[in-house]
Amino acid sequence: MKIESSVAVVTGGASGLGEATVRMLLANGGRAAIMDRPQSNGEHLAKELGKNAIFTPADVTSESEVSAAITKAVGAFGTIHIAVNCAGVGAAMKTVSKSGPMPLEIFSKVIEINLIGTFNVIRLAAAQMQRNQPSDDGERGVLINTASIAAFDGQIGQAAYSASKGGVVGMTLPIARDLASVGIRCVTIAPGTFDTPMLAMLPEPQRQALGAQIPFPSRLGRPSEYAALARHIIENVVLNGETIRLDGALRMPPR
């Protein structure tokens, strides 16, 4: 799919991997709806980027809010060709600790946002995409999800996070197969350790130590590198039903 003149919805688009993806899309002639929480930087970012970006505030777990955001994007730009799911949360807690078992609501919340929220956006975006006129290859849309290498190498305290991201990996192929008949692709990126706002809160020595664990390059991944892979997925019609690790050959130790 050509990015030029295409319309994308990017969840978590106001910061980190999502913001880098929005900037990449606009730099290549696309338009983007920044879907993020109302209290995020989304409105300011949309104003900075100009007429080819809008802010569509929504909680990804809410059917009504995501539907409204997609309706707003379609109203502004005509349709949706691309959806990139970058919204997500983390929670570090052991299954059982000295204070007792992990509260079930913490596990449920991570699953709700990372997995159910991703699927909620997928199904509603795909419903719009299937109305598009197909390209010469018969393509109507592209879905890109964000998992994590924690889906494969979950560390101590990552049961909830790993389960949510493992779910994203697990549904990638079935969704690609579900949507093949209408020409919509589904691909997932599994990033390693990236320099995002979540890690920005750590002290610099700790950030450097995390980067040093990566075989090559021995540094934190850059959001622009995630966006570069997203661009390739959009433009390469044969990429479908796959999860791609983006981790510098990192395999996470137990802790």
**For position 204, what pLDDT does the model report?**
82
| C-alpha to C-alpha distances, 209 to 90, 151, 162, 170, 214, nearest whole angstrom | 20, 22, 22, 31, 9
Helix (H, G, I), strand (E, B) or coil at 243: strand
255: number of Cβ within 10 Å: 7
Query: 243 forms bridges with which residues in the sheet?
Result: 188
Give the pTM: 0.95
Residue for token digits 């997609």? 70
Q: Which amino acid is at 17?
A: L
C-alpha gyration radius of the chain = 18
Q: Of 55, 107, 161, 194, which residue is the catalytic one?
A: 161
**CATH architecture of the domain with residue range 7-244:** 3-Layer(aba) Sandwich (3.40)
Query: What's the pLDDT tens digit per position in 110-156?
Result: 999 999 999 999 999 999 999 999 999 999 999 999 999 999 999 99
**For position 201, what pLDDT does the model report?**
67
Q: Are 62 and 84 in contact (CB under 8 A)?
A: no
Task: Please list the alpha-helical segments (H only) found in 130-203.
Answer: 150-153, 159-179, 197-200
- Give domain limits for the chain: 7-244
161 part of the active site: yes
Helix (H, G, I), strand (E, B) or coil at 11: strand
**For position 27, what pLDDT does the model report?**
98
Q: Extract the residue ranges of the chain whose pLDDT is less than 50.
A: none
Residue for token digits 């549904």? 171
The pair of three-digit structure tokens given for residue 215, joined into one six-digit string: 């075989």
